[in-house]
Amino acid sequence: MNPNGSEKPGDFFMTMHERFMRLALRLAKRAEGMTSPNPLVGCVIVLNGRVVGKGYHKRAGTPHAEVHALRSAGAQARGATLYVTLEPCDHYGRTPPCTDAIVNAGIKKVFIGMKDPNPINSGRGMRKLKRRGITVTAGISEAECRAINKPYGKWITTGVPYVTLKLAESLDGKIATRTGDSKWISGEGSRAYVQKLRQRVDAVMVGVNTVMADDPLLIPHGAFKKNPVRVVVDAGLSIPLSSRLAATTGRAPLWIAASNKAAGAKKNGLMKKGAEVIGVDASKGKIDMRGLLRILGKRMITHVLVEGGAALAGDMLDHRCIDEAVFFIAPKIIGGKDAVTAVSGNGVRLVSQAVTLKNISIQRIKDDVMIRGDVCLPV
């Protein structure tokens, strides 16, 4: 045992503890898309090597994972070990501190996946538990625990949402033909995967050119408890009042990010349709994307899925606004110098300045290939 009262797990203990933490991670993932602006959290309670309680955080404002697990364990929580993917909270929000519930239940040991990045709680929960005589060990399956809460981690520390760029392109990097036709470049499997992505985010963002060309709906298919906010970047309010987006504000919120100077009958017409027009600084007909993201963060948007088109993708990459990229590459060659390339914008002058990806995963989805990775910006 370390001098600070924490166990230092050896290889055997790490293997055992990781097994229980992975169970907690699987529980946490059950609520993907439902907990924002709160993190995904799973919890498992173990007594004599046997799971006696488990739970996960289901929605913001409802009991946390630890409370569900303690209720599940009941009297068997006394003297047991608790595994939780994120440091227990020690402050009053919409729910009481989980540290008090853990102490009162008689838990003897707590294993934590990752320290809470929230400045209000970071380290505080662990210190409280240690003061109450509970053995605390942090860092079990830490990389996996951080991975499921990347959006929360960025938003809670910067106030800006995590941004995922999704693009579907041909083998030669096109997202539409020279006539503007784009249906469908990717296959059914890839499009089904995108539906899952939409369910996991707070907002789906497109540029007005995409709205004009495709008239998208941007609502996840099938029954889902929460639809993402739909954000259209449209400095001059060019979006048609007859668009499917404007006609479905009752199903999912529609926010139009327009220049602060945009006004008049079009703005009033959109508002009558139920859309909200958000004024953002703009220059030369382009929205200040960093400013827009700060506004979205203040509105409790923690994760944005950018679905294009090429101009929006290029602008956001030029201004270093993307955290993660997901590209679906179809085995099709479109060709043509006038076909629409996947990313426009200014681009870079030298290959050494190119945006690269790290922590890459590559997955075959029927005939398509999905490449996903964290955006790594050049120094």
CA distance 67 to 1: 28
* Residues ≥6 apart with Cβ < 8 Å to 114: 85, 86, 87, 138, 139, 142, 145, 146, 149
The CA angle 258-264-268, to the nearest 5 degrees, is 80
Q: Looking at the DSSP assignment, which residues form a beta bridge with residue 340? A: 176
Burial class (CB in 10 A: 0-12, 13-18, 19+), 5: middle
Structure token pair of residue 190:
């890839």
CA distance 132 to 103: 7
Q: Which of 7, 18, 66, 142 is catalytic?
A: 66
Instruction: Judge whether 18 counts as a catalytic residue.
Output: no
Placement of tokens 């099938």 in the chain: 222
- Active-site positions read 66
